[in-house]
Chains A and B, each alone.
Chain A
Amino acid sequence: MTISVNTSVKVGITVNGEETTADVEPRLLLVHYLRDVLGLKATNVGCDTTSCGACTVLVDGESVKSCTVLAVQADGQSVTTMEGLSPNSTELHPMAAAFRAEHGLQCGFCTPGMVMAAVSLLEENPTPTEREVREGLEGNLCRCTGYHNIVRAVLSASGQNPDAVQTTSVDADADQSPAGGVESAPGFSTGSGA
């Protein structure tokens, strides 16, 4: 058996439904394949540490941070970017439309990644609670909106009425308590007795 070790690799990736191929350096990050090889500039880079999620795209339907995936790792797979969601600016995908209706974006830089993360979230959890939306988007940072309207947009896109689901009262969201009973942090204390 011989396995080749290569300094240049040919990749074939289906992006937004179209076959793409290129010879690339193995170190080429998927986000740069999308932006610089294919010219799809919606997907942004906001950090160096897999923290901000601005580069989130779908690989085979699941959200990933394309700054932490090599293009060659996506060889043979299917990638969806925000450009692939809506056919054009007048026919917005339901998630994108919800972001507009709820004013879930301001400067727009986090938006492509946020929208893709939200699409993936609803794929796994079609009717999330507000808390589940917040934790489901924990890997995507936004500096402009305070997330309030992003959460509304995702709830709305899930077919729920944000006014009914979003909780702003001290009593209604006991699950956010820093130590509800013996818990110590929202979402991060689990156990058989919890």
Chain B
Amino acid sequence: MSIMGTRVVRTEDPVFLSRGATYTDDLTDERLNGALHLTLVRSPLAHARITAVDVEAAREAPGVVAVFTGADVDLAPALLFAGANPGMVRPWLATDKVRFVGEPVAAVLTEQVYQGQDAADLVEVDYDPLPAVVDPRAALADEVLLFEEVGTNLAGGFGHDKEFDEHLFDDCDVVVTRDIVNQRLAASPLETRAAAAVWGDDGRVTLWASTQNPQSARDEIAGWLGIDAALIHLIAPDVGGGFGAKIGADPEFALVVWLAKAVGRPVRWAETRSENLTGMLQGRAQLQTITIGGNRDGDVLAYRLDILADAGAYPRLGVFLPFFTRQMAPGVYDIPKVESRARTVVTTTTSTGAYRGAGRPEATAAIERAMDLFAAEIGKDPAEVRKRNVVPPDAFPFETKGGAVYDSGEYAKAIDRVLEGAGYAELRAEQAARRERGDVVQLGIGVSAYVEITGGGAFSEDASVEVHADGTVTVLTGTSPHGQGHATAWSMLASEHLGIPIEKITVKHGDTDLIPRGSGTMGSRSLQTGGVAVHQAAGELVELAKRRAADVLEASVDDLEVAEGAVTVKGTDTSVTLAQLAEKEQLKVDTVFDSGAPTFPFGAHVAVVEVDIESGKAVVDRIVTLDDAGPIVNPLLAEGQRHGGIAQGISQALLEEVVYDSEGNPLTATFADYAFPSAAELPSFTLLDMATPTNLNPLGAKGIGEAGTIGATPAVQSAVIDAVSYLGVRHIDMPTSPLRVWEAINAARVESGAGSDSSEGAQQ
């Protein structure tokens, strides 16, 4: 019986559930004996000139071995993302200026971790405050510049150098436009950032770091330090979540390496949560203007998306992500005319990068909001309007007006199935009954349909499979997981070919000396690249074993089959085990799989919320999702990815937001203030399945890691608005907090007499 598609429990778990996983801060590697602990002195101001840094008192504090300031670091400030405005470089420790609260200003190395904060508190920095610029619209005005010598706050853009088509909406009877916010979020993996480095006598450095892609992190750090990447041995131990914010390296990792060299001792660093919520890359942070037009029958004829993205103080991946937002702008819809542009500006805030979905949730949230506004304007059911405009199943591969080529999809079917699964008609009836009764608790129903891009950007991945003489198997993979269960799934893929049970298969990842090439785990790419590479390697190993066995068994390769870890002459009991073959000669295959293109998983979600219209509080009562990522290797793992994604989607819609005051002070820099949800704020989830394969890889697999987030966010936001739409509310920005819902209801009631709430709608 095939192991594929079965609910295999994780091979990782017995250790995780007994002695616990080993994260970077847990390491007891003897090479780290005597390591110094790094404590960073961070800026309390968002924007200021540094006039003096006095570290003398800190140097005298107990346990202090060294204190460094920016002046001590002999590294050129680095452009942290190659596509950004080249002058927007970040110093390793701030020298002349600080540009966000949390920017490192001095580095304190102590014998004991408890001594670090004591000493750091003694570092005196004199600041001359400058005006903060927090709102990207204000940054765009270039009145306060973060980098005076650059002369602008514009960090990058896509399609922003040409004018919008003034005739885009000429054919439309109805045009709706709205400014919406896709708010800034903190990725908040439970493990904060951590690194440890030790230089060896051979002139190489071993760096342990909590990262999603060790090989890329190694290359980035080498580039920043100006050394050969071959000198860095980077190891990712167990990683406690990433969600995009641990893609690649952070400057602190490079600083740890540099400091270890400078003091000639191992150095360890693990940040606090308060540091994490100002230092780690944050996500989303787009201001969008959406304009949608069509006819009163419900045909959408034109769509425009104008993006102003917030890069934070020092441009990182956040500069690039609007590229994906533009590419996915039309969503699942076949819209005749689509145009978009994106501008990204620096602000005196934490830098932005990937967060679960990374540019695509922003696209889906925008088009789904636009579809709702359009449907409301023409007075039609939002689910019906969606179905009317989706790309039909016979149109694939389908090249969109966003410039993407969708591989396969059944969008209308997905919407139909999720509506049926949720009992959409009954829900509408229940909603009508509550409205009729004038209930305090009203029902809201939100429908979203989405398509997203997975495996984008890095299509190739290495894999190696080796059977050993003792019958065990080692799999090497370039995708380095942080909770996704690759050890289990990759074992299943190898086991399927070799017939060797997964208990005998070890999956290794995250060590750049062992696995020099790899692109890591991000963008829902792992199965369709790294997993397929393992599948391919195991298949090639079967063929290799057959060729070798043909000699041993004096049989034709065509007469041989591999099952239960042995090569057998078909129809006989003449066989040789793979282990025996390995005894004679190393039995190992290295391979590379290259899909050449990304895949486009899709789905539809229905969210049901209850809104207390007196207090404004919304609670998700139920969410039903259909997420189609093609055939599933292990439903237990795939469902887990969907659950986590759905929770983060609900949370963006209802709860989470990184907030800065006008002076750039973060107001959500602890978990007491940042609205990370607990089990008590979330419902259980209803998952529906559908599997439309892609032809871009032999498993037919697409990515599943981010789908839940991309679909759930607009469904829940839409449901909250839907609950109070009968009062005249058309839009509420996320998070749809009780305060915002209450204010929206009040505003609609005030305006309802004049009907001005819908005045933004009909512009033509």
Contact = CB atoms under 8 A, between A and B. Distances in A.
The answer to whether any beta carbons of A and B sit under 8 Å apart in the complex is: yes
Interface of A: 25, 27-28, 32, 35-36, 39, 41-44, 46-52, 54, 82-83, 85-86, 88-90, 92, 96-97, 99-101, 103, 105-112, 115, 130, 133-135, 137-151, 166-170, 173, 176-180, 184-187
A171 B24 CA distance: 45
B639 interface: yes
A93 B353 CA distance: 40
Interface in B663-687: 670-672, 676, 678-680, 682-686
Interface string B252-279: 0000000000000000000011100000
A96 to B, nearest CB: 4
A108 B21 contact: yes
Contacts of B672: 49-51
B425 interface: no
B643 A148 contact: yes
B615 interface: yes
Contacts of B171: none
Most chain A Cβ neighbours within 10 Å, of B15, B192, B680? B680
Nearest to B672: A49
A137 B273 contact: no
Contact of A141 (B17, B608, B676, B684): B676
27 contacts: A44-B23, A46-B671, A47-B273, A86-B18, A92-B14, A92-B18, A100-B13, A100-B17, A106-B483, A107-B191, A108-B16, A108-B21, A108-B240, A109-B21, A109-B241, A133-B679, A143-B188, A143-B243, A143-B648, A147-B679, A149-B639, A168-B622, A170-B430, A170-B621, A177-B621, A178-B441, A184-B615
A99 to B, nearest CB: 6
Candidate in A46, A115, A145, A186 with the most chain B CB atoms within 10 angstroms: A46
Contact of A89 (B18, B189, B671): B18
A140 B677 CA distance: 10
B10 A143 contact: no
Given A92-B18, A143-B644, A168 B190 contact: no
Q: Which 4 A-B pairs have the closest CB atoms?
A: A42-B20, A146-B647, A107-B483, A109-B240
A87 B12 CA distance: 17
Contacts of B639: 103, 149
Contact of B483 (A51, A108, A173): A108
B414 interface: no
Nearest to B482: A107
B722 to A, nearest CB: 14
Nearest to B712: A146
A145 B189 CA distance: 12
A112 B679 contact: no
A39 B219 CA distance: 33
B238 interface: yes
Contacts of B611: 178
Contact of A137 (B670, B679, B684): B679
Interface string B541-562: 0000000000000000000000
Contacts of A43: 20
